[in-house]
Structure 1
Amino acid sequence: MSSQRVRPEILDFKPYVPGLSEEEIKERYGLKQVVKLASNENPLGASPLAREAVARAAGRMFRYPQNHSPRLAAAIAKAMGIAEAHIVAGNGSDEVIDLLFRVLAQPGKDNVVCYEHCFSMYGLTARLCGVEYREVPRGEDYRLPLESLAEAVDANTKMVFVTSPDNPTGLAAKAEELQVLSGVLPEGALLVVDEAYMDFSWPPEEYSMLAFVPELKNVAVLRTFSKAYGLAGLRLGYGALPLWLAEHVRRARPPFTVNLLAEEAALAVLEDDAFYSETLSVVFKGRELFLKRLPELGCQAWPSQANFVMFRPPYPADQVCEELLKRGVIVRHLKSFGLPENIRVSVGAQAENEAFLKALEEILHG
């Protein structure tokens, strides 16, 4: 039997299930145009400088990129104010997550700790690697349970994951709170702070742990180019890791996982201050609009430090999502996060935000 030829972890493995694409929605509902506010993508699209850089580099796509992306690591380090030796780029921050498991956690012996209703890649990667995955309940009103995380670790805990700002709630932990958590972890446990949405926090210096990576030695920070930098389709992220860990991760990673075009796009977008600033301006305005209008429409909305807002409509969330789809608006029903009463809506361009609010008002009060 084929089931006897694969590892037991694979037999009941449930893969990551992304939301429907624009093309799938158009075909299913007979729509010519849709507004996609489900995947937390950049509301402005891609940086003009990044597009130009990809076009210039397209003729070199037959060449291998430089291994370990040293130019990109240097540019990230300069932009983020941290030494280059701490930076490990990857094929999305998902690759860095996978590498951390492979380098640090022994299958069948070690465990990692996270909280419930969070980004699924931590649990999926743990199961795929044969590592025990422990979830702790969130605090009241989905508060990040930092104290409970500390209580859940033991001598075999290799990593503790905190997403801040959190997906899907948008809540964030203060840097001083995370420093306390790092200080009470047992020796051998690494605090991994996933800062995929940190660009949208305010003020970021109160929340980001990036500057503390060299000092604390047991903290790693993950970042991505998919959100504020608009490169989701090119799959690029990085880890800011303690020096002892960065060296081992670089040795263990497969060669050439950051492709040549992604690297050129990232180098360009790091220089595109106008695009980055406009992205933040659009997100902050749209987020403020959602947090004002959603309660006016009878929804409960949670404060957010990310480029999305989580809300609970007065009617069943699955029905509201379905009605929005019929009107060509894609949002994320949070059933897959274990929150079937809630919806996550990404901040889009002004016209997209208004289309979503108009459709939602028709559904709830039409």
Structure 2
Amino acid sequence: MGLKDTVLPQIPNFEAYTPGLAVDEIRDKYGLADVIKLASNENPLGTSPVVQRALTRNADMAFRYAQAGTPKLNAAIAKKIGVPEQCVVTGNGSDEIIDLLVRVKARPGVDNIIAFDPCFSVYKLQAKLCGVEFRQTKLNSDFSFDWDALLKLADENTALCFVTTPDNPSGYAPRVEELEALAKRLPEQCLLVIDEAYMDFVEDQDAYSLLSRREEFPNIAFLRTFSKMYGLAGMRLGYGVLPEWLADYCLRVKLPFSVNILAEIAGIAALSDTTFVEETMRVVTTGREYLTEQLKKMGFVVWPSKANFLLVDMPADAPFGAKEFVEKMLRCGIILRPLGSYNLPRSLRITIGNERENNVFIETAREILAHG
């Protein structure tokens, strides 16, 4: 047996996470001066000026290790959303919290994890890496959630159940009554992980999120991120609101300093900038309505969304499919997200941009559909 043959058996066939294309990548490939990225659900306003100033003031601190466990950021998060500090675990993006939950809660070769299909691919990737069975059931045809089908996947060895709301790539969000019923019907040993990466874009959060009622549900963990609403995707910062006992276990095994000192500073500053959040919400809400109206006029099927993106199907009379449409848009300097990897070959996901970006996208789409 050679050295290469001693890696974990699941590694050779492992498929890595596929991120959206980068602006520089497309600019260089096609020799473009201006590129608009509407593919990765980033904030249409960029990064808050308050955060930028905080980073500039503290840039000389980059040589320091962060304080273990990021207690100042945890306290700021806890105060902002009204939960005990002991329940907050921050990470290098919410991806790290997902990884921690899988490694802490699910026993390799024994337990299983359940989720819908499609779902955020990191759930499946981390389960596979950790040697945990991953079970999925299809969404309904309108992208709503088939709770009965999901529950049929669960048994006495189901460690985790992942639900994303608003969901990606559809933007669909079930009401709290449905989530409450699910939490009560899952096996006793199963932790319901509700990934709320896009919940900040929901106007009536109490109607769609159980976070404010977390004490009623000791079997629920919540995930949130600074990447979307707060414009910090590049800083890699997310957090979980977990049962206190689970937060303690996660902190014991979490890699030290995974949240760097500048990310912590940025997170605290972002939470304080309510003006930026309000303006982001206005731009996203207005842009979502505008894009929905204009895309429908061109024949696209636009699915209802409560997130900062839209799932759309190509017009029935389009002379080409979604993949070719996305490629034509790339050549014009606009990055969109094709959904072939979600088994949705005629669909694409469009991030809500700022007013200029939305207008350029619509004009370009109209031109491509008319003339190829």
Fold in common (TM above 0.5): yes
1:345 aligns with 2:344: no
2:159 corresponds to: 158
CA offset digits 1:83-127 (Å, max 9, x no partner): 111111001000000000111001111000001111100000100
Deviation at 1:214, TM superposition (A): 2.4
Aligned positions of 1:149-228 closer than 5 A: 149-228=150-229
1:234 corresponds to: 235
CA offset digits 1:251-284 (Å, max 9, x no partner): 1111111100000011011010100100000000
2:50·2:273 contact (CA, 8 Å) conserved in 1? Answer: yes
Distance 1:235 1:80 in 2: 20
SS of 1:8 mapped into structure 2: coil
2:21·2:39 contact (CA, 8 Å) conserved in 1? Answer: no
Name structure 1 gaps, 5 residues minimum.
Answer: none
| % same residue | 48
Distance 1:303 1:309 in 2: 7
Choose from 318, 325, 339 the match for 1:320. Answer: 325
Q: State how many pairs are aligned.
A: 366
SS of 1:7 mapped into structure 2: coil
Of 347-356 and 49-58, more deviation after overlay is shown by 49-58
Q: Report runs of 4+ in structure 1 exceeding 3 Å deviation.
A: none
Aligned positions of 1:128-139 closer than 5 A: 128-139=129-140
Distance 2:89 2:212 in 1: 16
SS of 1:89 mapped into structure 2: strand
1:43·1:347 contact (CA, 8 Å) conserved in 2? Answer: yes
1:33 aligns with 2:38: no
2:106 corresponds to: 105
Distance 2:12 2:292 in 1: 43
1:61 aligns with 2:66: no
Distance 2:324 2:12 in 1: 33
- Letter aligned with residue 353 of structure 2: G
SS of 1:142 mapped into structure 2: coil
1:250 aligns with 2:255: no
1:169·1:310 contact (CA, 8 Å) conserved in 2? Answer: yes
Distance 1:19 1:198 in 2: 21
1:260 corresponds to: 261
2:366 corresponds to: 361
- Letter aligned with residue 65 of structure 1: A
CA offset digits 1:109-161 (Å, max 9, x no partner): 10000011111000001001110000111112221222221221000000000
Name structure 2 gaps, 5 residues minimum.
Answer: none
Distance 1:47 1:153 in 2: 42
CA offset digits 1:23-56 (Å, max 9, x no partner): 1111211211111000000000001111111111
Deviation at 1:202, TM superposition (A): 2.5
Distance 1:203 1:83 in 2: 23
1:302·1:310 contact (CA, 8 Å) conserved in 2? Answer: yes
1:111·1:133 contact (CA, 8 Å) conserved in 2? Answer: yes
Distance 1:327 1:266 in 2: 35
- Letter aligned with residue 58 of structure 2: A
- Letter aligned with residue 233 of structure 1: G
1:274 corresponds to: 275
